[in-house]
Amino acid sequence: MQSLAHQISEILKPFLKQTFNADISQLEFQSTRNEFDGDITLVVFSLLRYIKANPVQLANQLGIYLTEHVDMVSDFNVVKGFLNLSIKDDYYVQSLNHITATKNYGHCTPDPKAVHLVEYSSPNTNKPLHLGHIRNNLLGYSVAQILKASGKQVLKTQIINDRGIHICKSMLAWKKFGSGETPESTGLKGDKLVGNYYVRFDQEYKKEIQQLMAKGESEDEAKSHAPLFIEAQKMLRDWEAGEPEVVALWKKMNGWVYDGFKTTYSNLGVDFDSYYYESETYLLGKELIEKGLEEAIFYRKEDGSVWVDLTAEGLDEKLLLRSDGTAVYMTQDLGTALQRYKDNPTMGGMVYTVGNEQDYHFKVLFLILEKLGFSWANSLYHLSYGMVDLPEGKMKSREGTVVDADDLMEEMTNTAATLSEELGKLEGMSIEDKKVLYKTIGLGALKYFILKVDPKKSILFDPKTSVDFAGNTGPFIQYTYARIQSILRSAPMTSTEHLVDQISEKEKEIIKHLLLYPDTIQQAAASYSPALVANFIYDLVKYFNSFYQNIPILGGEDQAMESFRINLCHEVARVISSGTGLLGISVPERM
């Protein structure tokens, strides 16, 4: 069913063409302000660029036409250049009937012709996932779900950064200081164990820097001359040369990390359809760089390093290969992009979910791919998002001051448990069911707090304020859903067709909002913003709670009206469940 604004637009456009010879592609509508009568408002001022007329007179002319020719319009009033239209109750009743009859309301069937890839997570295998990765994963997963709901075929993917100097740092530290420790011997998840040695490398490296500086070297000299750093560089060269002992250590420690990541992803509720590894794609990147050298797109400096000059495009010169022939991030990103296209030749688009500190990197990546002649480069999109900070300040992985993703999820679950017990509404629920509920509430709070914010904005995350059963929070939405389920258990829906003559403004308000759900999904997909869905759900929940507090749902004498209201509750719950599902949030039957 098309939105009310769309329906009125399609009726008015031919009239405007015939009467004023005005070809108008889009009319501007908004909700009628509370102080005026009406349900939907046409902004007549926006028509004046096409039609030379007095705005009040034009609004009256359009209002008369609509009331005479459109059955759903019962009345109108004009306030300056705004045409406020009143819509008959029957329209809303029939709209609810249509929503009820629509399977998977708001979602479109995916188009099989083109696949859209969404990349997210893309971790380094030298440390566990942290709070910043949580925002990345939640954004990427939700955007993938929203794109799918909007009618696109979607594959969720990631590139695992499993090689490079940072990986060698944790490997070298374990080799020197690990004494053979394993996840089994320590009881630590593999990613946490490896992350500890990344921190240990930094600690020992700083000691060496201080020692060299005490002997008279400058800080920059000390950093490059420190024995640990020199050993890490050699380990990277040995790895690229395929030195068996280094490769074996790399495989072992990466295996530990993958096991740890698998647990974290499962707990967070995200998954992937395909995986790419930097250790494989960087080779294809090197081939592309050779191609660029042959075609004079890139150039080699005297020290042997390879660069691209983008100064003519307003950027700078970018390193593509180091002087010793080892790859940089750009090398593998070029290779990964090409490999993904080879694997998905019908690719209609590719979304990179990466923080805004990499904005410049992706401008360069897309431009280089264009220069290499790949037409699909213009379908690549960088979903740039702001950082997540804590009240204590910025996190730093190498110093061990990050908020571990597993620890944060556990903290959220424990906080949810404490608050739920304080509310005291879980009598009769088993211990196991309570554990599931606490995790559902805790993760719902975490996910909603992060996803309700526009991706481009930074977030100051406070775990305690996110787990609140009132306000714009995940638990408030989950609690409303559970409240509706309690109503439906008392009086299940018995009919999907309703013939009530009159409904309240509170009920109209809810149905009007439900009708916006399909458009909200499309807008969220077009802007890659789960925040639009999150805040749509919050508004729906507010409308429902206002209805719930003011209108008796059960026990009235009018059985037709009670049936209508039960159905309204059912559809609100269905859209809450659908919308939160797009955010990766579960809703409980009881709270």
Which secondary structure element, helix H or strand E, spans residue 156, and what is its range?
strand 152-160
- What CATH number is attached to the domain comprising 54? 3.30.1360.70
Confidence of residue 518 (pLDDT cuts 50, 70, 90): very high
Tell me if 212 is assigned to some domain: yes
pLDDT of residue 496: 63
Report if residue 80 sits inside a domain. yes
60 and 126 co-located in one domain: no
* CB atoms near residue 404 (< 10 Å): 21
Residues 141 and 235 in one domain: yes
Instruction: Specify if 227 maps to a domain.
Output: yes
Which residues, other chains included, contact 202 with Cβ-Cβ below 8 Å and sequence gap of 6+?
169, 398, 399
Q: Are residues 428 and 576 in the same domain?
A: yes
Spatial distance between the Cα atoms of 462 and 449, rounded to a whole number of angstroms = 9
DSSP secondary structure string for all residues of 490-558 = HS----S----S---HHHHHHHHHHTTHHHHHHHHHHHT-HHHHHHHHHHHHHHHHHHHHHS--SS-S-
pLDDT the model gives residue 577: 98
**410 and 354, same structural domain?**
no
Question: Domain for residue 555, yes or no?
Answer: yes
Q: What's the pLDDT score for residue 591?
A: 84
Q: What is the pLDDT of residues 51-110, one digit of tens each?
A: 999 999 999 999 999 999 988 999 999 999 999 999 999 999 999 999 999 999 999 998
Total domains in the fold of the chain: 3
Q: How far is CA 534 from the centre of its chain?
A: 10
Alpha-carbon Rg for the chain in angstroms:
29
Whether residue 248 is contained in a domain is answered as yes
Q: Kindly report the CA angle at 511 between 509 and 514, in degrees rounded to 5?
A: 110
Task: Give residue for tokens 């999820």.
Answer: 409
Q: Is the entire prediction scored with pTM above 0.85?
A: yes
Q: Does 201 lie in the same domain as 62?
A: no
Among 335, 360, 389, give the residue marking a domain's end.
Answer: 389
Is residue 94 a part of any domain in this protein? Answer: no
CATH of the domain at 187: 3.40.50.620
What pLDDT is attached to residue 2? 66
The closest alpha carbon to 536, from 554, 552, 555, 512, belongs to 512
The two three-digit tokens of residue 237, written as one number: 């060269």
Query: Quick check: helix, strand or coil at residue 384?
Result: strand
As a whole number, mean pLDDT of residues 565-579 equals: 97
Confidence of residue 495 (pLDDT cuts 50, 70, 90): low
Q: Is position 109 within any domain?
A: no
Q: Kindly state whether residues 133 and 62 are assigned to the same domain.
A: no
The pLDDT score that the predictor gives to residue 395 is 46
For the segment 140-145, the average pLDDT, to the nearest whole number, is 98
Q: Contact 106/517 with Cβ under 8 angstroms?
A: yes
pLDDT at 563 over 70: yes
Q: SS3 for 114?
A: strand
* Residue 397: per-residue pLDDT: 45
Read off the pLDDT of residues 296-339 as tens digits, 9 standing for 90 and up: 999 999 999 999 999 999 999 999 999 988 889 999 999 999 99
pLDDT of residue 398: 46
- 92 within a domain of the structure (yes/no): no
Above 90 in pLDDT, residue 498?
no
What is the structure's pLDDT at 275? 96
Interval 35-45 mean pLDDT: 95
Strands 73-79 and 82-87: antiparallel
Q: Which range among 245-259, 337-351, 486-500 shows the weakest confidence by mean pLDDT?
A: 486-500
Verify that 172 and 308 share a domain, yes or no: yes
Same domain as 128, residue 28: no
Under a CB-based contact definition with an 8 Å cutoff, are residues 477 and 8 in contact? no
* Interval 343-355 mean pLDDT: 95
pLDDT surpasses 50 at 8:
yes
Domain match, 136 and 37 both:
no
Q: Whose structure tokens read 């090197």?
A: 286
Same domain flag for 427 and 318: no
Q: What integer pLDDT is reported at residue 401 of this predicted model?
A: 54
| Strand partners for 152 | 111
Three-state secondary structure string covering 172-221? HHHHHHCCCCCHHHHCCCHHHHHHHHHHHHHHHHHHHHHHHHHCCCCHHH
Which tokens sit at 357? 């500190």
Residues 347 and 423 in one domain: no
Select from 389, 418, 445 the last residue of a domain. Answer: 389
What residue numbers bound the domain in which 455 lies?
405-582
Close Cβ partners of 63 (under 8 Å, ≥ 6 residues apart): 76, 77, 78, 83, 85
pLDDT per residue over 424-469, tens digit each?
A: 777 788 999 999 999 999 999 999 999 999 999 999 888 778 888 8
pLDDT at 284: 96
Backbone angles phi, psi at 400, to 5 degrees: 70, 25
Q: Indicate whether 416 and 381 sit together in one domain.
A: no
Tell me, what's the pLDDT at 79?
Answer: 96
CATH number at residue 519: 1.10.730.10
Q: Provide the 8-state DSSP code for 46.
A: G
